[in-house]
Amino acid sequence: MHLADVARDRRWPGYASAAADHGVRSLLSMPIAAAAGWSAAQSLYASTPHAFTSEDIIMTRRYARRVARSLWMVVRVAERAEAGAQLAVAQSSMVLMDLAVSALKSDYGLGHEAALQYLRTVARHTRQGLRETALNIVGASRPDPAGRGQKNASFRGLAGIETSSFSEGPYKTGSTA
């Protein structure tokens, strides 16, 4: 958009008079190619009418293309960073679920599928998400200070973590799963 003389332009009378009130007599505005979710423009203002030449318009268009490529790259990097952050959250949730399943298997002698089913059932009945339920189970399960029930003291990955019974933790249930 090129307004050579804001005072004489009749296309946008309200905008032209507001610009003239701020000392703008000529303006050049170039859209920057839009991508998913964003759009931009660059605007140049001059205090004299007919300030922008055809060369200025060509240079502004070139600059807008460069800015569009740069913004596209920034958006792509941001999308990848967001995807990476979402993956990290998902992975941490999976680790938490694995810890909770390991605690249920160790504490109650459940098989893997039975421990997962118990976790889902508790989450559904307490109206908590699986992640919150798993966090509660892992938080309630503590190592036995007397060393009872520890089958293997060495760390063998997440599946090898041994924990104490829930009945000895802060959430005494008085029964098994």
The model's pLDDT over 113-166, given as tens digits with 9 standing for 90+, comes to 998 898 888 888 888 888 888 888 888 876 655 444 444 333 334 444 444 444
In which element (H, E) is residue 155 found? none
Q: Identify the pLDDT of residue 142.
A: 60
- The arithmetic mean of pLDDT across residues 48-55, rounded, is 94
Q: Fold for domain 2-80?
A: Beta-Lactamase (3.30.450)
Structure token pair of residue 128:
């908590």
Structure token pair of residue 44:
């140049």
Q: Facing residues of 126 across strands? A: none
Beta-strand relationship, 2-3 and 26-35:
antiparallel
Residue type, 5: D
For residue 12, how far is the Cα from the chain centroid? 40
Tell me the residue length of the chain. 177
Nearest alpha carbon to residue 149 among 170, 175, 120, 169:
169
Q: Which of 108-112, 113-117, 172-176 has the lowest mean pLDDT?
A: 172-176
pTM of this structure: 0.47
Q: Identify the pLDDT of residue 63.
A: 92
Q: Is 26 exposed, middle or buried (0-12, 13-18, 19+ CB in 10 A)?
A: buried
| Residue 116 to residue 99: CA distance in whole angstroms | 11
| Residue 48 to residue 62: CA distance in whole angstroms | 24
Q: Where in the chain is the domain with CATH 3.30.450.40?
A: 2-80
| Residue 24 to residue 132: CA distance in whole angstroms | 58
Phi and psi, residue 132, nearest 5°: -65, -40
Nearest alpha carbon to residue 138 among 176, 112, 171, 113:
171
Q: Identify the pLDDT of residue 155.
A: 36
Q: Identify the pLDDT of residue 144.
A: 53
C-alpha torsion angle, residues 47, 48, 49, 50 (rounded to 10): -110
Has residue 108 got a pLDDT over 70?
yes
